[in-house]
Amino acid sequence: MSILVVGSVAFDTLKTPYGERQKILGGAATYFSLSASYFTDVRVVAVVGEDFLPANEAVMNQRGVDTRGIQHVAGTTFHWTGEYGENINEAKTLNTELNVFERFEPQIPAEYGDTDFLFLANIDPVLQTRVRDAMPNVKLVGGDTMNYWISGHRANLDRMLKRVDVLLINDTEAKMLAGDNGLPRAARKVLAMGPRALVIKHGEYGATIFFRDGEFAGGHHPFRAPALPLDEVRDPTGAGDSFAGGFMGYIASQGEISRRVLKHAMFYGSVMGSFSVERFGTERLQSLSREEIDERFEIFRELTHLD
């Protein structure tokens, strides 16, 4: 099965307690597609500028990612500058140069028309809804958003929420979206806005999936995947998108969309997030093997299972 991700391909300049990097390959769609590429066929729709070189695109192609949907336009690629301090889980944005991303108009290539799964990375919810409408036959739609859209573009976001099956956001975003500090109650409120399942990411403590009543038969309890306790989080950039790539990629690789599959997908999401943060940028995600991924899956099982 194939999956299409629509979102940012960018350059990141960043500093962490372990070092700094200038204009390395980044962006939500980049992390997502590299991560998902270990599970299924991946296609990307994004926009880049003239400074985006063949060598940059080759990073994705080497993992088999279909980049025909990356539009090359005049101008400069989206460039994010940020740093992480003592609390490695909190990014401090120093500069956001949207550049060509500011006028991003996703175009779905005709060759992508038969795509089975769709992931709407964090972009304007108007664009997310437009892409969703252009792909009426996909089996499952995942989506991300952020505080900027929650607080300032609510009507557009509400329309988008009605069109995604699984929303992946963090604790703060879930509480903000629901206007409720009780996490399970916030989850129920968000599920009432549209999604059939909600993945709430807890940073270094993992993530919990909540299911809307009656959806994905097999029980109504939430399910939690831990994050791996790590000594060195060298660069947390892209951890959430790598999680989403492992989560959606695994689902797309399975013959059914069941609660059982979604639970395993939560573990694969956490596995890919844990790899991503071990090195700067996309470095670790470029050089994995499926064996390494499955070995780490077993470590997650040992970390959580009683018997």
Q: Which residues pair with 117 in a beta bridge?
A: 3, 140
**Residue 307 is a binding residue for its own copies (CB under 8 A):** yes
Among 162, 205, 217, 287, binds its own copies (CB under 8 A): 205
CB of 243 to its own copies, least distance (A): 16
**Residue 229 is a binding residue for its own copies (CB under 8 A):** yes
Count of residues engaged in binding its own copies, rule: CB under 8 A: 33
Stretch that binds its own copies, among 65-73, 74-82, 127-135, 184-192 (CB under 8 A): 184-192
Q: Please tell me the distance from the alpha carbon of residue 78 to that of residue 97, in angstroms, as a whole number.
A: 6
**Residue 292 is a binding residue for its own copies (CB under 8 A):** no
The 3-state DSSP class for residue 9 equals coil
Q: Please tell me the distance from the alpha carbon of residue 77 to that of residue 57, in angstroms, as a whole number.
A: 13
Binding string, 22-41, against its own copies, x = CB under 8 A? Answer: --------------------
Q: In the chain, helix, strand, coil percent, each to 5? A: 40, 25, 35
**Residue 202 is a binding residue for its own copies (CB under 8 A):** yes
CB 21 within 8 A of CB 281: yes
Q: Which residues pair with 10 in a beta bridge?
A: 26
Give whichever of 291 and 307 is closer to its own copies, judged by the CB atom: 307
CB 39 within 8 A of CB 249: yes
Residue type at position 306: L
* Dihedral of alpha carbons 41, 46, 50, 52, sign: negative
Stretch that binds its own copies, among 26-34, 119-127, 162-170, 299-307 (CB under 8 A): 299-307
Q: Which of residues 71-100 bind its own copies (CB under 8 A)?
A: 86
Residues that bind its own copies (CB under 8 A): 86, 181-185, 187, 202, 205-206, 208, 219, 221-224, 226, 229-232, 260, 263-264, 267, 299, 301-307
